[in-house]
Structure formats: structure tokens, C-alpha cells
Structure 1
Amino acid sequence: MPDPTNLPLPLFLSQTLHTLLPILNDEQPLSSPAAQAILAEGLDDLYLVARMITSLGVFSENEGVEELGDGELVFMATGWILGEVEAKTGLGGWDERMACLRRSDTAYSSFLQLISAYGVLSPEEQAESSAMADSTSRAAPRDPAQKREAKIRQYKREKELREKISAALPGQVDSSSHPVTLLIALLPSSPTHNARSSTSTSVNPEPDAHTRENTLLLLRLLHTLTLASLGHNTMELELLASAPRDPAASSSGSSAPPREEENDNTWRLDRSAAGYRPRELISGGGRVLRPFTILPSTSQLSDRERLKGEVFRSGHRLPTMTIDEYLDEEKRRGNVITGGGQASYDAPTNSELLALEAENDGTMRGDEADEERLLKEEYWAQYGELNKKGAGNTTNRG
């Protein structure tokens, strides 16, 4: 079998797209190892095509679209193909997926810059492409009404361009065909996917008169699809940024830099609340030293309520203290009065206990209690003689 890299560049690109088409067209499961192997091999071929285009100097910043030949226009879609294939790879873990999405964004952005520089787009499309080139405007409009209007405009433009291309290539593609199918229709037939004939290796010897117009329509269609794909990549990157990393990757001791979100706590109201003790939150005089949240008692908290509290938690990270911890701290500070109630009312007084112990005749403790009771009664008798009733009321005698 001849080396495919020895083929002319259009045939090499066509053969690569023929190989990738079943996966891009969702005819094969994307998660299967065979599909990922085909995508990896296809990416190597596509990056080789991109390097060959750069080394041959097919595109230049000083040219316009009118200066490009009909066969060169189709290679402007190489960046879009790379972005599309990169977005379908990287299913092996968090780090791999993030890297593939970033490479996909880079490829999409290079495609937008190329077709914008050559003036392929209409004024409205050019304005959208310029806004998308700004990294701060990468995301879709925040306002729901503007977001809906942008999606409607993109859908209408995509439908219109698909119908024009389908009408220009009757019998080859239809309006629902995958864009890669449209690209293949504009490239020469690959010898491995065409009937054996003496003309199968010729490079599009007789291009159609409308090939250039169809290629420009296809590039505008890919521009519209790129805007939607960049929005999808942005949303997935945001989800991955807030998701935990792969445990296997984190335990392997890789030297990958930690995510920015794990180190950036500037948006938090406080540092981690796990290190605070109750006495660091409330002073000895009862003054609150630091804002904190009182949680329900853990002994009375059901599993359902506990799991709900862990999921639907607030955005801030204040120190927390359960009811049990709060009461223990109040007891330590002496602010909790124990006793009282009916049990305290029914309990015997000290005098009654002393009288009961004094009734134990013949015992040492009974004699001591009887002596103590007599001394107490003598003390109160003397106190009554020395302090007559009303003797201390010298303020309001009348």
C-alpha cells in the first residue's frame, strides 16, 4: 500500500476526511476505543496537513480572497476540522479533556481569524467574528433575550447556507448533510474510497464553474457552526473548572499545576471554617468575635437533612457551630443554670436532711448531725434576741 503522505495534498485531506466521516457523522460510538484511535490518527494527519499548508505558504496576510485559487479556498477549513475533531477526543480524564477543549478553541479561533482576514464573511458575520475573537466576549450574551436572538440568527443563516449549497450540488449532498460531507464533495475523490480507474488519482482535473462560489458558501456555513461550537466549549470548560479533578490523576503525583479555583479564595468571605473552635467565636463576656452559623444538633439531624444541607449550602464559607457545641460553650462560661423545676421543689432542704440524719441515734454521723442542728437552732435564737423585728427599719418610721 503506498504511503498516503506521498499523495497530493487535496487527495491526502480527502482521504483523511473519508476516514473520520463515520465518527463525525455519529455512525460509530464516540466512546469506543476504536473510534478514539481513529480520531487520534486522523488528528495526526490533519496537523500534518496544517504544517504542509504553512510550509507551502498557501495563505498570506497580504492577500485577499480574490487572489486565492479555487483549489486553495477549501484548505481554509482545516482549522475548523481540527477544532471539530479535537472536541470529540480527550475522554480519558479531567486533564485530558480540558487540554483537548483548549486545543479545539485554538483551532476554531485560527479558522475565524483566517476567513476574517481574507474577507470571506458578510459585514454582519464579520462583526460576530470580531466579537468572538475577543477572549472576554467568548461566552454568549448574558441577557436571555439577546442570547435567544443570536441563536435564532445563527439558525436562520445556517439553514439558508445549507439550502444554497444543497441546491448547488444536487445529487451529492442535501441540506442535512454533515459539513465534512460538503467538504469531501469539493475535494477530489480519494483513491481508497473510489472505484479503481486511471483517473482516480487526478487532482480535480475539471473543476465546476460554481466550485468557488460553493466553497465560499461552505466557509460561511462553517463560520456559523464555529460560533455555536465555541459556545459549547466554553460551557463545558466552565463545568469542568468547577468539577473535582480525577482522583487517579491527583493521587499519581503529577506535576500539573493546580486549578486556579482551588487556590483563589478571594471571593470567599473567610478562610476555611474547619479550624475554628467555639471559644474563638464567642468571647468570655459573651461578645461575638466572628460571624458564624448555628447548625441543627447533629444527634437530632436525619441523614436526609444532613445530605440536603451539604448540597444546598450557601455561597459563603462562615464558621459553623452546632447547637450542642454552643450549649457546651455556654456551660463552660457559666451561663447555663441547672436544676429547678418540680424535681428541685420536691427535693428535701438542708435543714430537713440534717433532721433526718440526726434521727440516726447511736451513730457517729447521727450525733454530729444532732449537735449541728442544736448549734443552728441556738444561733438563730440568739440572732432573734439581738435583732428585734423591725429594728433595722430606720428609714421610713413615719
Structure 2
Amino acid sequence: MSGNDETLAQIFRKSETIFLDLQKSSLASNSDEFQSKVNQSIQGFQRSGDMVRQLSLFSENEFMEDISTKDLRFLLTEYYLGELFLKKVSQDRLADLSASKEHFDHFLLQCETHDILTAADKKYLEQLITNAPKDAATRRGEKIARFKREKEMRNQIEEFHKILGTTSSGYEGELSSELEDQYRDFVLLHLQYAIFQTTEQLVGIQQEIPMLKQMQERRAAEGSNDSRASTRNQDDSRDGRVDDSRIWNATGPLMDPQGRPLRPFVITNKKAEMMKGVFRPGHSLPTMSIEQYLDQEIERGNFLSGGTEEPKKKEADDNDEEAVNAETIKARDWDDFKDDNPKGWGNKGGRIG
């Protein structure tokens, strides 16, 4: 059977097997072998998606109960593509993230259309879209609850794998009525787990895309600056001017073969400069005399003139009877005060005891 004659189930199973092997692979994610498998699985799921649309397996008017058990697993196609584009390592990480988000969004839209999304998943998605603020305790509680739910779903999937004897989401044997019910629950559990993983991946994508856009804008700005600098350097070289980028390069020749300066320099008398350094005294020499310094300080107003002599006591005129009488009364009052207050009398209390 040629590749073109493969059925949808065969293409899907082959692509899913590669994807599951990548999940457990010990290869480096940027290795050629790993990336080759990523691209191979992407191509397979893209073919599966095209065939699903051509066959019109899913109608917008159908609910989960209306979809056949064998066809349910093909709803995982968009989820697998979203996961695989996250694993791609290329030069355009932003494009890969955008493609991954587009596939995840399509997968969630399909699940909502066919009434597979639970009320808890819808509430969580609404919070992601609106970016509703939460306190630390609420966020921690949600993380713990989602971690427990993820662990429980993984354990249930492992149990189904043991019961059905399969390692993928498909079952190739004949399904009895009892086995079909178990297989349907198994596929629905796969879809619930894929919805859970999708919401977690979308959180990371929403955080990474803005950072990548900022990096692209910064690189574009730097590229524009480098282009302007290159143009300016070319103009400077034509004009014979020194390149600014080499100003601080203090080594190498001063001029190029054409006689143009390669770095700034000052022409000096080296011998005279060395002599000044050798015969210089060890201390700093004064730059002005004391008289010059005092004159400068006086001009600045830092010294006040006058006020160095004691004021002369004004003597009373003998012909001025009022002045003479005032001086006499003042002298008598002073004598009376000294009689009433002998010298040292105020310290006697300090010497008691």
C-alpha cells in the first residue's frame, strides 16, 4: 500500500506513535534526529486534519453523543499539532508559537462545539482570556487542585492502556458492546487530558509571545542603528575623518598608509615633559603669596576691618553739674552694693556639708 493509499486511521496512528516516542525520548530537543521526527509527525497530523475536513467527520450541529466512538480520537489532531509546534527548534520561534496557539485554539473550539469542555475548564479559560487578578492563596489552591487532577487522569489512562492492551488512543480490534463503552470512556479521558494540557500550554505561550516580540523590536532597532553607523563610517572614511568607533583604540599605528589618522593624538615635547616630572618637588608649590591671599579674602568680605581697639571711656565735664551728680550717685550705689554683697558670699552654700 502506497503512502497515498493510507487510511486516516493509519496516518493518525503512525503520527501519534512518533509523537508518543518523542515524549519519552532522551534525544536533545535541538538534535537533527529529534527535529526530523517532529517534522515527520507534523506532516502526518496535517494530512490527518486535511482528511478529516474532506470526509466531514465532525459537524457543528453534533454533540459528543452523536460522534462515533471510532471517530472521537481524531479530535486530538489539532492538540497534537499544537504540542509539536512547541517542540520545533527554528530561527523563527515567534512563528512556531503563533502556529501552536492557533492549533490549540482550534482544538478548544472543537471541544466546546461538541460539548466536551467541562464547566471547570470553561471557567479556567475565561479567567485566562480576561486575565482576572487572583491573590496568592487562590493561585496556590488552583495549582494544587489541577496537579491532583492531572495525576488522577494519567493514572486512569494507564489503567485503560492495560485493560485495552494499547499504548495509543486507538484500538484496532473489534469492539464488543462492553469494550466499546470502555474504549469510549478511554478516548474521552484522552480528550479531557488534552484540554487540561492545552490550557497549561496556553499560559506559557501568552507569557512568551510578548517577550519575543520585544526582542524582535529591539533587534530591529539595533539593526537600524548599526546600519546608520555603517553609513556614517563610510562617509567619514570618504571625508578623511577619524572613525568614532576607533577613538578609544590607543594601540596600533597612528596613521594608515594613505596618511589618514587612525586615532587621536597630541604632539608634545617628550623630553621636556619628562624633565618636568623628574625635577618636580615632592610637595605642592604655593600659587600665591600670603599678602595676595589676604587681599583676596578681604575683597571677598571674609575679614572685617576696625574694632580692634577698646573704646575710650567718656569723662564727665566738671562744668556739667548734672553729669557730675549722676557719676557721684552711680559710684555711691556701687559702693553700697559691694557692702551688701561681699565677694564670694554666693559660694558659701556650695561648701556646706
After TM superposition, the score normalised by the length of structure 2 is 0.58
Aligned residue among 145, 150, 161 for 1:158: 150
Deviations 1:79-102 (A, max 9, x none): 11010000011x233xx1000001
Q: What is the alpha-carbon distance in structure 2 between the residues aligned to residue 161 and residue 116 of structure 1?
A: 20
Consecutive aligned runs of 4 or more in structure 1 exceeding 6 Å deviation? 245-248
Unaligned runs of 5+ in 1: 174-181, 189-202, 253-341, 352-398
Q: What is the alpha-carbon distance in structure 1 between the residues aligned to residue 74 and residue 127 of structure 2?
A: 24
> What code does the residue aligned with 2:113 have?
A
Q: Counterpart of 1:301?
A: none
Deviations 1:124-163 (A, max 9, x none): 223223444x3x44xx855433332222222121122222
After TM superposition, the score normalised by the length of structure 1 is 0.52
Aligned residue among 190, 207, 215 for 1:235: 207
Q: Alignment partner of 1:236: what SS?
A: helix
How far the C-alpha of 1:171 sits from its partner, in A, is 6.3
Q: Alignment partner of 2:175: what SS?
A: coil
Q: What is the alpha-carbon distance in structure 2 between the residues aligned to residue 33 and residue 246 of structure 1?
A: 30
Q: How many residues align?
A: 231
> What code does the residue aligned with 1:214 have?
F
Structure 2 residue 10 is the aligned partner of structure 1 residue 11? yes
Q: What is the alpha-carbon distance in structure 1 between the residues aligned to residue 98 and residue 133 of structure 2?
A: 21
Using CA pairs below 8 Å that are at least 6 residues apart, which structure has the higher relative contact order? 1
Q: What is the alpha-carbon distance in structure 2 between the residues aligned to residue 187 and residue 239 of structure 1?
A: 39
Q: What is the alpha-carbon distance in structure 2 between the residues aligned to residue 63 and residue 171 of structure 1?
A: 29
The change in CA–CA distance for 1:57 and 1:244 in structure 2 (over 3 A counts) is: closer
Q: What is the alpha-carbon distance in structure 1 between the residues aligned to residue 158 and residue 117 of structure 2?
A: 20
How far the C-alpha of 1:245 sits from its partner, in A, is 6.6
> What code does the residue aligned with 1:186 have?
S
Unaligned runs of 5+ in 2: 225-285, 296-353
Q: Counterpart of 1:104?
A: 100
Structure 2 residue 155 is the aligned partner of structure 1 residue 186? no
The change in CA–CA distance for 1:220 and 1:141 in structure 2 (over 3 A counts) is: farther
The change in CA–CA distance for 1:186 and 1:17 in structure 2 (over 3 A counts) is: closer
Q: What is the alpha-carbon distance in structure 1 between the residues aligned to residue 80 and residue 291 of structure 2?
A: 89
The structure with the largest alpha-carbon Rg is: 2
How far the C-alpha of 1:170 sits from its partner, in A, is 2.1
Matches for 1:68-217 after TM superposition, within 5 Å? 68-89=67-88, 91-93=89-91, 96-132=92-128, 134=129, 136-137=130-131, 141=133, 143-170=135-162, 184-188=167-171, 203-206=172-175, 208-209=179-180, 210-217=182-189
Q: What is the alpha-carbon distance in structure 1 between the residues aligned to residue 120 and residue 216 of structure 2?
A: 40
Q: What is the alpha-carbon distance in structure 2 between the residues aligned to residue 163 and residue 28 of structure 1?
A: 26
The change in CA–CA distance for 1:124 and 1:19 in structure 2 (over 3 A counts) is: closer
Q: What is the alpha-carbon distance in structure 1 between the residues aligned to residue 61 and residue 3 of structure 2?
A: 32
The change in CA–CA distance for 1:130 and 1:245 in structure 2 (over 3 A counts) is: closer
Deviations 1:197-232 (A, max 9, x none): xxxxxx543363310011111111111111111112
State percent identity of aligned pairs. Answer: 22
